[in-house]
Structure 1
Amino acid sequence: MTRMTTNLTKPISIKLLFAMLVVTIGAEVLLYLTRYSYLASTFYDAMMVSSFFVGLKLHPRISSSERFRLTKRQHVLKFTGAFLIFFLGSTIINMYSSNIFNDFNADYDQYVQDYTDMQMDVVEQKPTADDSETKAEPVSSFFEKVDAIGTDLYTDALAGLEEVWRLAYIILLLVVCKKLFPNRWASGKRDLFLMMALFLTSILFGIDHTLDSVEPWGVKIGAIVTFANMGLLFGLILLWTRSLWVTVLVHSLYDITATLSWYYLDSAVDLMALAMLIVHVFLLILEKLNRKRALQQLETADGVQAAE
């Protein structure tokens, strides 16, 4: 990890520093303002889209050189493995939160129920129409359904880009630690700073999930702890995979399947995890067979050279 922290704290240009501050502090301010303004919500979504380009600049700082040697199969294995780890971890976190934070659990379940009912009520409303409008009703109904869930899926896809926010915060915190504690940094004991940055960003991740609404403290504390644990899990996946984009995809896909479970199929997340497990096991078997074949070819080549 020492090499990772060294890469993360390489010199930062003024433009990149400004962009990182915008997608961290600026995004948090906009997120807070969304409780008062729909326009702030629109700007927040635009901020998430723009963070993609910041991520392009930050990804090389965390990615290891091994990525240039990984095959497509190995990249997919890393993604499916990361998704399965998050699924297992989030399941444990949700079980813990449902038992410890009853107020948050009840409030969240009620929010999901009320929100989905409201969205589906809009779709089911039948406005008065003449015969010509009635003929176009199937098309209209289709787009009403798309609008009802499409906005949520779009927001879920953008949610994955919150991992750019996390990486930017980690880099900023490490740079500050490097400046404030030069002797400890020079001694090579930098893993402590990285773990501290991971912990702090996880706490911020939990707090940020309470900024857009006003809730009683019993609900708010449960939300902070639950989402902070989720954030810690995403952070560990980021450090393990050393891939910003794998973490972004895991985050987005999990949120998308969770939304689908709200509207259509309660077990959508479980089914997605099962599909990921099947793909992971299948590719893992292929990878082992490929390595075994390569080893046999190497042994055969060594045997031929020895005979010569």
Structure 2
Amino acid sequence: MTTNLTKPISKKLLFAMLIVTIGAEILLYLTRYSYMAGTLYDAMMVSSFFIGWKLHPRLKNSVDYPKTKRQLTLQFTGAFLIFFLGSTIINMYSTYIFQDFSTNYDQYVQDYTDMQMAAGEDDGTEAGHITKPIWSFFEKVDTIGYDLYTDTLAGLEEVWRLAYMILLLVIFKKVFPRRWESGRRDIFLMCALFLTSILFGIDHTLDSEQPWSIRIGAIVTFANMGLLFGLILLWTRNLWVTVLVHALYDITATLSWYYIDYAVELFALAVLVVHLILLTLEKLSHRRLKNQLKAVELAQAAE
């Protein structure tokens, strides 16, 4: 995989990768001072889709067979369940170890929830009996729509990770040519994964000023989450599956915090049911194919 990831990069693609990595870091930091920086950051995440389209094929090996729709769906369901279980353990660990961060984050969620509830209340106007339900509905749609939009863009952070990993691997290839040529390249891939996970954790603290007791907890928690996403990326060798897992987890987490109780758990349960059904069908399909091949071999032997 490392050979494919470090294939020659055109100047245009290299420039785009630097923009979506270092440029995104700068804009993310500036969001604490400027709303325009936040808008530009969102625009950069949208544009990263096209960069991901160019980088995605580098995850594949030439000998890889194309997967069926069922196999791709199984990849997604398996990856989501792995992240759900892993993130649950990470959250439990952070709650116990980093109590200041956990308390601060819970307060942030509660404050945002209270703000959403307050925004949905009507001031009381003429014909309020008619307008209140209508305006309340549209306000709720507007609020949820924005949250879902930002959570969807968060999934495209995996393009940021892949671009960073490729850039780091190219640097390792230039700095350590002998070890690279010796064939022991997995260590470089793991180093790139670890470094991008640390950066992922740091990036979740750039947009606001926080005490170090809270910031360290945030960095460790989100770095562990980032490591989990990175492992899923390397396991599936599919950028878009990882993007989808990231986006849907963020979306269901937001729904769970502010709108629908236990949305993450309910969605994970539904994914588990689908995964078991598809896994059973896949095993039956393999068994049927195996029996067919065996019948062909017996027929050939009889001739």
Deviations 1:155-204 (A, max 9, x none): 00000000000000000000011111111111111111111000000000
Match of 2:261 in 1: 266
Match of 2:237 in 1: 242
1:36 matched to 2:63? The reply is no
Alignment of 1:52-63 (within 5 A): 52-63=49-60
Deviations 1:1-38 (A, max 9, x none): xxx00000000000000000000000111111111111
Alignment of 1:18-97 (within 5 A): 18-65=15-62, 68-97=65-94
Unaligned stretches of 5+ residues in structure 2: none
2:228 aligned residue (233, 236, 254): 233
Q: Is the 8 A contact 1:64 1:242 kept in 2?
A: no
In structure 1, how many angstroms separate the alpha carbons of the residues matched to 2:170 and 2:294? 48
Look up the SS of the partner of 1:116 in the other structure: helix
Match of 2:98 in 1: 101
Deviations 1:242-296 (A, max 9, x none): 0000000000000000000012333111111111111111100000001111111
1:305 aligned residue (288, 300, 303): 300
RMSD over equivalenced CA pairs, Å: 1.3
Look up the SS of the partner of 2:120 in the other structure: helix
1:193 matched to 2:178? The reply is no
1:10 matched to 2:7? The reply is yes
Deviations 1:200-253 (A, max 9, x none): 000000000000111110000000000000000000000000000000000000
Percent identity of the aligned residues? Answer: 73
Look up the SS of the partner of 1:215 in the other structure: coil
1:165 matched to 2:146? The reply is no
Q: Is the 8 A contact 1:123 1:148 kept in 2?
A: no
Read off the aligned partner of 2:146 and give its amino acid letter: T
1:148 aligned residue (143, 149, 152): 143
Match of 2:218 in 1: 223
Shift of 1:68: 4.5
Shift of 1:136: 4.4
Read off the aligned partner of 1:260 and give its amino acid letter: L
Shift of 1:139: 3.1
Look up the SS of the partner of 1:19 in the other structure: helix
Q: Is the 8 A contact 1:9 1:174 kept in 2?
A: yes
1:211 matched to 2:206? The reply is yes
Greater mean deviation of Cα atoms: 219-228 or 137-146: 137-146
1:115 matched to 2:123? The reply is no
Deviations 1:123-159 (A, max 9, x none): 11x134333x764443322210011222111100000
Q: Is the 8 A contact 2:56 2:238 kept in 1?
A: yes
In structure 2, how many angstroms separate the alpha carbons of the residues matched to 1:134 and 1:65? 65
In structure 2, how many angstroms separate the alpha carbons of the residues matched to 1:119 and 1:267? 18
1:182 matched to 2:184? The reply is no
In structure 2, how many angstroms separate the alpha carbons of the residues matched to 1:235 and 1:102? 26
How many residue pairs align between the two structures?
A: 303
1:288 aligned residue (271, 276, 283): 283
Q: Is the 8 A contact 1:120 1:148 kept in 2?
A: no
Deviations 1:84-136 (A, max 9, x none): 11011111111110000000000000000001111221111x134333x7644
What TM-score, normalized by structure 1, do the two folds share?
A: 0.95
In structure 2, how many angstroms separate the alpha carbons of the residues matched to 1:67 and 1:230? 28
In structure 1, how many angstroms separate the alpha carbons of the residues matched to 2:162 and 2:114? 36
Change beyond 3 A, Cα 1:65–1:278: farther
What TM-score, normalized by structure 2, do the two folds share?
A: 0.97
In structure 2, how many angstroms separate the alpha carbons of the residues matched to 1:268 and 1:217? 31
Q: Is the 8 A contact 2:4 2:61 kept in 1?
A: no
